[in-house]
A and B are shown apart, each in its own frame.
Chain A
């Protein structure tokens, strides 16, 4: 049978809209492939359908998933979609397809014998892992006026998952986290809800100056870290294994220009 390749925007809304259309247009489910972004290598015996993102349709899909599969599975799907993986749209589609078919016993995400579900599970795990890494290694700097600012350069779009963690932790702080890869800013005004700003110029950060006591605090922490190591146990390889170098760009204790 002819393959139908559904092309959509690389975002949760985009992929959910595509899923919506696949069902609404009654495409034969086994022949559909969902692909994000460019058309890539054109296949000969395939039909291409471009789908424009529609928030309302995406929202309907989201509600259905929530109702049918529960919070856990929805979370896994969201995390999987935050990765850069080219196959993520198809994996999520297959997971939804298996789930709606009614043949899965128990929780959807436990059925790891199915390829698509396993893929979503793996992607979700890696995005969770990266989010966790940033919860560990993100560093705020105090700017003039007491604002806390942090830069991150994550592989996945984890900022929306990171913001709730820090907002709960610092309800009384004005803080902002800036994703330098996507020019995306997460902003939390003290005692208010957080929000995201797309296409936020990095200048907003560059224009801020460090608070007066920032340099001393940094130095104190770096000094504390140095003191915490036991000489006769030193093991740089293990340190590197636990804390990959790519995170250190923004980490206070590894910055030389104190």
Chain B
């Protein structure tokens, strides 16, 4: 295969440019697959994933996240690598990517490779380059660690298919929550060309699962599932719209994860909003919390938000916010309620709920026990009883509980000096969102 290689550049310089260019993709997890090494190569994979470092912005770094090239024929308005930008360009060779991956992996710097790319010449050509690279890495270098690649929208489905048999995870970014948003900011991309390969991968995974039940040694296809990413705050969708899209992706496309990426202003462009408070991090944080509730707590998007209340509470996490609006369902009796009900209590997580169910088989639990089981009592105490008794005399009243929960100053993952400023700016961009109010369009309706 023949393409332009930036010869004069050192590997270090390329790594600088192509690592820098890849950082706006937020996914860096190495989870979803358990695989032992087979003794003939290097690497294995651990279901929960392993982080190896945390960057200065506090994000987990698990994979060598790089672009194959930052050359691009497209011109997405929000992207630093768009065609119209004058930035230094570089491309790796498959050999270079393999060497970097192996050398970093041997030192336990990384869990594997996350390879994405700008569009070089055309989507199929680009996908082929990605395929060649991971093929080399898996066969020549016998690498058995984690690999996540991007499927390039519009690429020949056959190349996507071939690549799927070599990697653990694939993702195609939805980029923006609605087709309108996409039209405005990513004129070369279309909702359909994004959803088509997503469907292809989903079908591939389902079929592969069936094959694996018949024949255990069948090669596995994207065993860690597929994920996607939406940019938050570049277009005027509200939280309800975004979360409904996520719900649809989980329901209809069996996605493993949806990632949310607070819009980072890198290009001057009149089509892009100016967010004086910086990226809407708190909003992004609330979306992750809510996403967690969809995936592990069996909440539905329309339980958490609605047309009348389309945005998350800035001060309370979505679970506490939901509980406060459904006080008629509380208090919950810890020694009798079922798992699903206990799971919905603020301050009780998936792990502690499971422990409660198992531990109470050997006798009733009290508040002291709950604390030891990992329940955050200062949050849960308003919503539970143990053997009919509440922990303290408290009122089951929205304002009262809200005040108390807020007094505890729940810790947001932002530097202490940044909080007030960012909260204010979040209110700002929420106004901006409300002006543009429009109904929710499920993805299926857009197809």
Whether A220 pairs with B416 at a CB distance below 8 angstroms is: no
> Contacts of B281 on A, CB cut-off 8 Å?
233
Chain A 222-234 against B: per-residue CB contact (8 Å), 1 yes, 0 no? 0111111110111
Nearest Cβ on chain B to A58's Cβ, whole angstroms: 28
> Contacts of B59 on A, CB cut-off 8 Å?
228-229, 233
Whether A229 pairs with B56 at a CB distance below 8 angstroms is: yes
B361 CB–A CB distance under 8 Å: yes
Residue from the set B54, B108, B145 with the largest chain A CB neighbour count within 10 Å: B108
Stretch of A10-18, A73-81, A87-95, A134-142 lying at the B interface = A134-142
A112 CB–B CB distance under 8 Å: yes
B interface bracket (residues with beta carbon within 8 Å of A) = 35 or more
A169 CB–B CB distance under 8 Å: yes
Q: How far is the CA of A51 from the CA of B281 in the complex (A)?
A: 59
| Contact A233 B57, CB 8 Å, known A111-B359, A169-B43 | yes
Whether A217 pairs with B103 at a CB distance below 8 angstroms is: yes
Whether A242 pairs with B12 at a CB distance below 8 angstroms is: no
Q: How far is the CA of A228 from the CA of B110 in the complex (A)?
A: 13
Q: How far is the CA of A225 from the CA of B65 in the complex (A)?
A: 10
Nearest Cβ on chain A to B61's Cβ, whole angstroms: 6
Whether A228 pairs with B19 at a CB distance below 8 angstroms is: yes
> Contacts of B23 on A, CB cut-off 8 Å?
227-230
Pick from A191, A228, A235: contact of B415, CB under 8 Å:
A235
Chain A 18-59 against B: per-residue CB contact (8 Å), 1 yes, 0 no? 000000000000000000000000000000000000000000
Stretch of A153-161, A170-178, A200-208 lying at the B interface = A170-178
Nearest Cβ on chain A to B417's Cβ, whole angstroms: 10
Whether B358 pairs with A106 at a CB distance below 8 angstroms is: yes
> Contacts of B65 on A, CB cut-off 8 Å?
228
CB proximity to A under 8 Å, residues B333-370: 355, 358-363, 365, 369
Whether A238 pairs with B58 at a CB distance below 8 angstroms is: yes
B220 CB–A CB distance under 8 Å: no
Whether B61 pairs with A220 at a CB distance below 8 angstroms is: no
Nearest Cβ on chain A to B426's Cβ, whole angstroms: 15
Number of A-B residue pairs, CB cutoff 8 Å, is 172
A interface bracket (residues with beta carbon within 8 Å of B) = 35 or more
Chain A 178-211 against B: per-residue CB contact (8 Å), 1 yes, 0 no? 0000000000000100000000000000000000
CB proximity to B under 8 Å, residues A205-258: 213, 216-217, 219-221, 223-230, 232-239, 241-243, 251-253
Whether A236 pairs with B56 at a CB distance below 8 angstroms is: yes
> Contacts of A135 on B, CB cut-off 8 Å?
46, 50
B60 CB–A CB distance under 8 Å: yes
Stretch of B34-42, B166-174, B203-211 lying at the A interface = B34-42
Q: How far is the CA of A113 from the CA of B37 in the complex (A)?
A: 39
Q: How far is the CA of A106 from the CA of B359 in the complex (A)?
A: 9
CB proximity to A under 8 Å, residues B1-53: 11-12, 15-16, 19-20, 23-24, 36-37, 39-44, 46, 50-53
Pick from A118, A136, A172: contact of B372, CB under 8 Å:
A118
Whether A221 pairs with B39 at a CB distance below 8 angstroms is: no
Whether B53 pairs with A253 at a CB distance below 8 angstroms is: yes
Whether B104 pairs with A221 at a CB distance below 8 angstroms is: yes
> Contacts of B413 on A, CB cut-off 8 Å?
235, 238, 241
Nearest Cβ on chain B to A131's Cβ, whole angstroms: 11
Whether B56 pairs with A142 at a CB distance below 8 angstroms is: no
| Contact A235 B58, CB 8 Å, known A139-B108, A220-B11, A224-B64 | yes
Whether B355 pairs with A220 at a CB distance below 8 angstroms is: no
B421 CB–A CB distance under 8 Å: no
Whether B55 pairs with A239 at a CB distance below 8 angstroms is: yes
Q: How far is the CA of A166 from the CA of B37 in the complex (A)?
A: 10
Q: How far is the CA of A217 from the CA of B265 in the complex (A)?
A: 32
A85 CB–B CB distance under 8 Å: no
Q: Which residue on chain A has the smallest CB distance to residue B107?
A: A140
Q: Which residue on chain B has the smallest CB distance to residue A251?
A: B53
| Contact A142 B372, CB 8 Å, known A111-B359, A136-B52, A235-B58 | no
Whether A237 pairs with B64 at a CB distance below 8 angstroms is: no
> Contacts of B264 on A, CB cut-off 8 Å?
230, 232-233
A5 CB–B CB distance under 8 Å: no
Q: How far is the CA of A183 from the CA of B355 in the complex (A)?
A: 38
Pick from A114, A136, A235, A251: contact of B414, CB under 8 Å:
A235
Q: Which residue on chain A has the smallest CB distance to residue B284?
A: A233
> Contacts of B41 on A, CB cut-off 8 Å?
171-172
| Contact A110 B279, CB 8 Å, known A223-B12, A234-B56, A243-B53 | no
A2 CB–B CB distance under 8 Å: no
Q: How far is the CA of A238 from the CA of B413 in the complex (A)?
A: 6
> Contacts of A241 on B, CB cut-off 8 Å?
58, 413
The 10 listed contacts between A and B (C-beta, < 8 Å) are A105-B361, A110-B359, A112-B355, A113-B365, A171-B37, A220-B100, A228-B61, A236-B58, A237-B415, A241-B413
**Which positions in A face B, CB cutoff 8 Å?**
104-107, 110-114, 118, 122, 132, 135-142, 148, 150, 166, 168-173, 191, 213, 216-217, 219-221, 223-230, 232-239, 241-243, 251-253
Complex A-B, nearest 10 residue pairs according to Cβ-Cβ distance, in ascending order: A238-B58, A110-B358, A229-B56, A233-B57, A112-B359, A229-B55, A242-B54, A227-B20, A227-B19, A111-B362
